[in-house]
Amino acid sequence: MCPAPVPENTQRGFIIPIGGGEDRERERQIHRRFVDMSGGAQADIIVIPTASQLDETGPDYHRIFSDLGAGKVEYLPIARRADCDNPQFAEMLDRATGIFMTGGNQLRLSTIIGGTLVAQKIRRRNAAGIPVAGTSAGASIMSEHMVAGGPSNSSPAEGNISLAPGMGLTNAVIIDQHFTQRNRLGRLLTASSYNPFLIGLGVDEDTAAFIGPDNVFEVVGSGTVTVVDASQLTHSSMWDASAGEALSLLGLRIDVLGQGCRYDLTARQAYPPDEHAHFCSLPVSGD
């Protein structure tokens, strides 16, 4: 699914994939930035805890975002597709100033909210300028093509990644999470090489890519975001490899971006901290 059209004279909101396992107790710099970006004391944040099957997930995020000064935080208790037709939820999303999708299982999330009024509202609100963040499963579902699963610890190989249709907030990237911690480079290389127009984003735990309306993202967190750019591939054995056979992929470009680095997804160009600051750079945190 392509991103929803951005209304005239409007900028798309930030898209914020987080690699899971983010700091929720100490500095909470990722959550803090998200709250600030959502309006701080004026924020009206809606949490979608559907990927998780734990009852405490919604309340947990209510506590975190409230602690960080968000004016209002609510979560939508969506556990089945029918819940997504609730007109009250649609109204809540219509007035939201920030939306957060929790971790859990991205296929649970996509099978429950995919194609519903809730998904449509999230897409349209993001296009209208509202930031949408997601962690772990909530990060995976953001892109047009979603990583649904696949073995960790593998070399790139045809069939070592399962793709499914995602929410399509962006179609510039494909997102993988818990990236270094679960050794997922092999499957992300496979995904990027299936069709090299897709940039692979491997997001580490406690790390986020804040993707601005200009498709430049900045890294926040204690780990790295690995960018796989396969557009300069000179050779791939993908099309004639047998199932499970190790692939040859020659000419990959990799950038490993730590805190403060930026990447321009349109120009496919990485920048160190203090370079390429731009009009939609992140607001400075309040403390």
Residue ranges binding a copy of itself (CB under 8 A): 153-156, 180-183, 185-186, 189, 204, 207, 219, 222-224, 234-235, 237, 241, 245-261, 270-273
Catalytic residue selected from 31, 205, 218, 236: 205
CA dist list (Å): 189 to 54, 174, 195: 32, 11, 10
Dmax (CA) for the chain in angstroms is 56
**CA–CA gap between residue 102 and residue 152 (Å, rounded):** 22
Taking the least distance from each CB to a copy of itself, the nearer of 9 and 234 is: 234
Q: Sort strands 269-271 and 225-229 into parallel, antiparallel or unpaired.
A: unpaired
Q: Minimal distance in Å, beta carbon 247 to a copy of itself?
A: 6
Minimum distance between the CB of residue 238 and a copy of itself, rounded to whole angstroms?
11
- In whole angstroms, the minimum distance from the beta carbon of 268 to a copy of itself comes to 12
Q: Which two tokens stand for residue 120?
A: 């449509």
7 versus 272: smaller Cβ distance to a copy of itself: 272
User: Could you say which of 178, 193, 218, 236 is catalytic?
Assistant: 178
Chain-centroid distance, C-alpha 42: 24
Distance CA 285, CA 287 (A): 6
Active-site residue 74, yes or no? no
Catalytic residue among 38, 136, 143, 236: 136
CA distance 20 to 225: 12
CB of 271 to a copy of itself, least distance (A): 7
Nearer to a copy of itself, 52 or 154 (CB): 154
Based on CB atoms, which residue is closest to a copy of itself, 5 or 272?
Answer: 272
Tell me whether residue 78 or residue 227 sits nearer to a copy of itself (CB atom): 227
Instruction: Mark residue 111 as left, alpha or beta (left: phi above 0; alpha: psi -120 to 50; beta: remaining).
Output: alpha
- Rounded CA separation 178/203 (Å): 6
Query: Shortest gap between Cβ of 8 and a copy of itself (angstroms)?
Result: 36
Bridge partners (DSSP) listed for residue 100: 47, 133
Read off the amino acid at residue 252.
Answer: L
CB of 190 to a copy of itself, least distance (A): 10
Q: Which is nearer to a copy of itself, 63 or 253 (CB)?
A: 253
**DSSP-derived 3-state class of residue 11:** coil
Question: Can 205 be counted among the known catalytic residues?
Answer: yes
How far is 50 from 190, CA to CA, in rounded Å?
A: 28
242 is catalytic: no
H or E element: which one contains 260?
none
β-bridge mates for residue 48, sequence order: 101
Tell me the two tokens of residue 68: 């960080």
**Catalytic residue annotation:** 136, 178, 205
